[in-house]
Amino acid sequence: MTELKVGDAAPEFKLPKAVDSNLSLKELTASGNLILAFYPGDFTSVCTNELCTFSDGLREFNELGAKVVGISGDSYFAHDAFRKANGIKFDLLSDYDHSVAKLYGVSYEEKFGLRGIAKRSVFIIDRTGKIRYRWVTENPGILPNFDEIKKELAKLK
């Protein structure tokens, strides 16, 4: 898979957020821009920090015309417990087979003894499905630059 770049069409996907409840990229971008945050796993310190920061700033991201969605390989059962334990106010989607992380070019071959988990990465996708921002790190201990994400969203208003 070639690396996705700013300006590329974001690959379509449909992932579960709960039992019998799926969300697709098309549905997520229908009403505006989307912040797609891939992360390695629920209940880990850096991932908790990242998703709580997105959740705490959700109003500002919404005011900038974007919704936030998290994606990891954890099950929707784990996501539900993680959301409740941390007061996360947006959807977390289960990429249980890591196919979407692979599609977006953000899966590790092997990390922490696990295969295919998502690299910490952030994409801003506009309502037409085009990638407008891309950030990927090989180091799962690094958080995204939230101010940079806000600046990129402000350019889309």
Domains of the chain: 14-155 (3.40.30.10)
In the predicted model, what is the mean pLDDT of residues 29-45? 95
Of the candidates 34, 47, 101, 131, the residue annotated as catalytic is: 47
Query: Is residue 52 annotated as a catalytic residue, yes or no?
Result: no
Token reading at 81:
């417990």
Q: Classify the phi-psi angles of 32: left when phi > 0, otherwise alpha if psi is within -120 to 50, otherwise beta.
A: left
* pLDDT for residue 1: 53
Whether the CB-CB separation of 44 and 85 falls below 8 Å is answered with no
pLDDT in tens, 111-137: 667 677 899 999 999 999 999 999 999
In the predicted model, what is the mean pLDDT of residues 144-149? 98
Query: Of 32, 31, 9, 13, whose CA–CA distance to 23 is shortest?
Result: 13
Give the number of other CB atoms < 10 A from CB of residue 100. Answer: 24
Q: Is residue 97 very low, low, confident or very high in pLDDT (cuts 50, 70, 90)?
A: very high
